[in-house]
Chain A
Amino acid sequence: MNSQTPLLQVTDLAIELLPAEERPQPQSLLREVSFEIRRGEILALVGESGSGKSLTSLAIMRLLPDVLNICAGRVELDGRNLFALSEQEMNSVRGRRIAMIFQEPQSSLNPVQTVEQQIGEVLALHQNIRGQALTEKVVALLEEVGIPEARQRLSWYPHQLSGGQKQRVMIAIALACEPQLLIADEPTTALDVTIQQQILQLLDSLRRQRDLGILLITHDMGVVNAMADRVAVMRHGDILEQAEVQSFFRQPVHEYSRMLIHSLPDRRHFLPASQQPPLLEVDNIQVWFAQRKGILQRIAGYTRAVNGISFTIRRGETLALVGESGCGKTTAGRALLNMEPLAGGQIRFAGERIDTLSQKAFKPLRKRIQVIFQDPFSSMNPRMSVREILAEGMVALKVANDPQELEQRMLALLEKVGLEAAHLDRFPHEFSGGQRQRLAIARAVAVEPELIICDEPTSALDVSIRSQVLGLLRNLQQEMGLSYLFITHDLSIIPHIAHRVAVMKDGILLEQGDTQQVLTAPQHAYTRSLLASVPEPIATA
């Protein structure tokens, strides 16, 4: 077939939410979405959460939930209108012609089936292969997606695989029936940067070998830049702009696209290091978790989550603690809050030793050291109003005593973090992710701390919101002289926020120094590999 005819053609697709009891009017979620994908081409569908990216992909697969209705448009695969097919015919399209991979490999694989069973199931169902041939085919697939020692891993269960390997298995399942179109819905968002890079390379080589059309759904402009041939920018259910990647990054047409591109890190400006006296001194701390065995629960050994790290944070300074998941950075943060017992080492805060204090003696310090968590959806009690959430810390630490003062402070706080007084009596679920993170910041700042431990505060947020939250954190730092320990796995945001950087791996610090020095002249090989896997920004005109 002629490579000029598009593989997938979506024309004027519109989706609405059907009216329900509480909403008499149908709500339009997607309007006149049109795009096409050719063979061997990657189209990146970019947008923030709620923009309709995933809806589009589900509509193509005809997997929309019942409350959503496709009210207009056509989807053609190889010239065949998918909306005109019967459900049975559609079943043979799913998996065989169009395959899908998801964001979360953890939950997309069945934990009680082996790798072979899961891949084999698809093959046996769609291609009717049995016995030895099936095993051979599975091994070939696993090798194709780059799983080492594929034959030995056939009998492995998902929990024995790493996150990246699980995603590879997911891709193998998707490719099993040799589809023409692959829909990848945020395939790398849940993975560490170095793994992300490998998975993206795998997808890229697969589409070349198999002449595969890929619809890549993402919110990460770095990924778009590294992977895609063409880009479609989506917002609030509309496609704002469609262009070739090069021209898109050189000359974005839409204001919103420009903002998205701008969210990529700028590695030319760095924050100057602070000269203030040190506030927190961490000296060779260790946090070990006991591994217990047998009936008597005897301690058989230790997991050394944090194995001797030292750093200092000065007043008004931000130290970024960088590392991939499982390296012990969150545990280190918890140890500073006296939530994990130390196996060794010392922590000094404003010159005084704090690691030996009891929970009770630590209480005055709770006012001075605060914390902001990663997930703005689990960090606030869903059953408490904003008023109760903000007041809790202030009342517990006796920052404000009479109700009037409390009220005044809460209003001032909301204003400070860019929310309104009317928000006081709402509940967390009524806010967006960015607003919730602002609330979490307000809650932490409420007790006027000196140090805030920020545990990946922006990694659950969309790019545009991420830069707003980082801006807010920076403003608060200047205003109140705060120090931050900024725990993150995302190197791209470090220039925006950190004065100094410490790189952590397997419980120890490999390298630390001023941001500029670490990012431009990394000493350690691991730091270099981390930096190399961050998608390169493009110098915009």
Chain B
Amino acid sequence: MIKPVVLWSDVLIFILVAFMAAFFWHLRSRPLTLKRWRSVFHSHTGVASFVVILFYLLIAVTDSLHYRLPLDKIEGSDDVHYSQDVRSLLDDILHDLNSLDETTYSEPFSLYSFAKINMQDDSGGVYRDYPRLASAGSHLQTEEDIHADIVQRSVWGLALGLMISLLIIVPHWLWRRRYAAQSSVPWVTAYLTLAALICLSAWALLLGQVYHIFGTNQVGGDVLYQSIKAIRTGVLIGTLATLLTLPLAVVLGISAGYFRGWVDDVVQYIYTTLNSIPGILLIAASVLLIDVYIETHPDDFQLVAVRADFKFLALCFILGMTSWTGLCRLLRAETLKVSQLDYVHAAQAFGVSHARIIFRHIMPNVMHLILISLVLDFSVFVLAEAVLSYIGVGVDPSMNSWGNMINEARAELSRDPVVWWSVSAAFALMFVLVLAANLFSDRVRDAFDPRFH
């Protein structure tokens, strides 16, 4: 039997997903807000970027179902011992990618290592050459078959992807024809995006079984596997850190702008003080504190994964606590403006309470700022993680992250010839996520900003 492991970040990601589901469920009872969200999904970009985001989220969720495998029984004992290695459902899906271990760098789709080593020929003479990779392409009869094999597997992969897509799309399409009335959601776009994503995944999985699509890294690990595993880190650090900035920024910013006077003075005092401390210094100091805490409490962190997870959450928390000032300042300024408008005066003339005025009149009218900064911060945090890894205070090195990959690229890019695939893979996956998030937020803003109507 396997033993499930629940990390704190797993809990948070499930809460996040549940919250999103609850939010969209809650919309059913609010026809007016529903109408606006519908208009988000009436555009091609909105639907396509939403599907991409969902796909990333799905990967993050499957990567958050952790468990430990039982070890072989020791003779003479009935106790079951579990492996120290914490695996996730995603590891099982990507098992084939992860099982091809090499010794060092190799180029994408290459059969040979990237570094020459000393080898002995049949007669015992020593020569230097690129060694054949241990597992990539080991099924090939001759090396000339590689091109034909790649094409064949690609065709198979795409065909398989199309089949799976059809299996998902056709029933939905039929159901829609039967039960759903004419909707203006561009379903075709959604289908196409979904099919493209499924085909790409099927292709990558099928080819990844026998080749390294994005090459291998310094210790011979598959780069594609690494960058897919990093999705969870990226999605989590982006969302958690931004969500942590929100309460502080919103509460302090709006109350400073609305109540003014001494409240404003206090809030301004806090954020100017915080702003005058260099951010990196503050973060580095906090991260070092966390490291000390982990070292002095070894009993609480017996598994590597648990320790990495704790450090990761602490990092999210610290990032959130140190970066709320920008949004707070924006919200204060906007609230100062909005609270001077006639409809706020009108509400005051009706004797509406402060709390109600803030929630009904001010919050919705500064919401676009919150939304936009949510998405901008998202990408900023994904990048901040890379910067922090660079100075050695980022996520645990045992955790896959785009930041760690980019950090390694520092050495790789200065080699000759250049090792370009690691950073490219991290860049490509990060780029797609950030682009989708930006496009989606654009649509949301257009739908919710009254100036665009």
Give min CB distance, A345 to chain B, whole Å. Answer: 21
- Is B348 close to A, CB under 8 A? yes
Contacts known (A382-B365, A383-B450, A425-B32); A375 close to B342, Cβ less than 8 A:
yes
Q: Per a CB cutoff under 8 Å, which of A373, A383, A388, A397 touches B346? A: A373
Residues of B near A393 (CB, < 8 A) are: 346-347, 350, 352
Inter-chain CA distance A375–B346, complex, in Å, is: 12
Q: Which residues of B sit under 8 angstroms from A379, Cβ to Cβ?
A: 341-343, 346
A contact residues, range: 20 to 34
Given A382-B365, A429-B450, are A373 and B345 neighbors across the interface (CB < 8 Å)? yes
Contact of A371 (CB < 8 Å), options: B31, B345, B356, B361:
B345
Check A392/B360 contact, CB under 8 A, given A378-B343, A382-B365, A383-B450: yes
CB of A414 within 8 A of chain B?
no
**16 interchain pairs, CB-CB under 8 A:** A366-B350, A367-B351, A373-B342, A373-B345, A373-B346, A374-B342, A378-B341, A379-B342, A392-B352, A393-B352, A396-B347, A396-B350, A396-B353, A396-B356, A427-B450, A427-B453
B44, chain A: closest CB distance, angstroms: 10
* Chain B proximity mask over A376-399: 1 for CB below 8 Å, otherwise 0: 001111111100100011001100
Q: Which 4 A-B pairs have the closest CB atoms?
A: A393-B350, A379-B342, A382-B450, A366-B351
Size bracket of the B interface: 20 to 34
A375 proximity list for chain B (CB < 8 A): 342
Is residue A363 within 8 Å, beta carbon to beta carbon, of the partner chain?
Answer: yes
How far does the Cβ of A177 sit from chain B's closest Cβ, in whole Å?
36
Contact A384 B360 (CB under 8 A): yes
Docked Cα-Cα span, A440 to B345, in Å, equals: 12
- Per the 8 Å Cβ criterion, residues 368-411 of B in contact with A are none
Residues from chain A with a CB closer than 8 A to the CB of B32 are 385, 425, 427
With A396-B356, A425-B32 known to touch, is A381 a contact of B350 (CB < 8 Å)?
no
For A366, what are the chain B residues with a Cβ–Cβ distance below 8 Å? 349-351
Instruction: Determine whether the beta carbon of A392 is less than 8 Å from that of B450.
Output: no
A269 vs B356: C-alpha distance when bound (angstroms): 46
Tell me if A381 and B352 are in contact (CB < 8 A). no
- Which of chain B's residues has its CB closest to A367's CB? B351
Q: Who on chain B is nearest to A449 by CB?
A: B349
- B225 CB to nearest chain A CB (Å): 42
Residues of A within 8 A of B453 (CB): 427, 429
CB 8 Å contact bits of B410-453 with A (1 = contact, 0 = none) = 00000000000000000000000000000000000000001001
Give the Cβ gap from B352 to chain A, nearest Cβ, in Å: 4
Contacting pair B349 A381 (CB below 8 A)? no
B364 close to A (CB within 8 Å): yes
A378 touches B342 (CB 8 A): yes
Asked if A447 is an interface residue, CB under 8 A from chain B, the answer is yes
Complex-state Cα separation, A58 to B426, whole angstroms: 51
Contact A380 B345 (CB under 8 A): no
Contact with A along B329-370 (1 / 0, CB 8 A): 000000000000111011111111100100011001101000
CA distance A49 to B141 in the complex (A): 80
A74–B145 Cα distance when bound, in Å, is 72
**A447: which B residues are within 8 A, CB to CB?**
350
State the CA gap A79–B417 with chains docked (Å).
Answer: 70
Contacts of A438 in B (CB 8 A): none
- Contact partner, A392, options B345, B350, B367, Cβ 8 Å: B350
Instruction: Chain B residues near A440: list those with CB within 8 A.
Output: 346
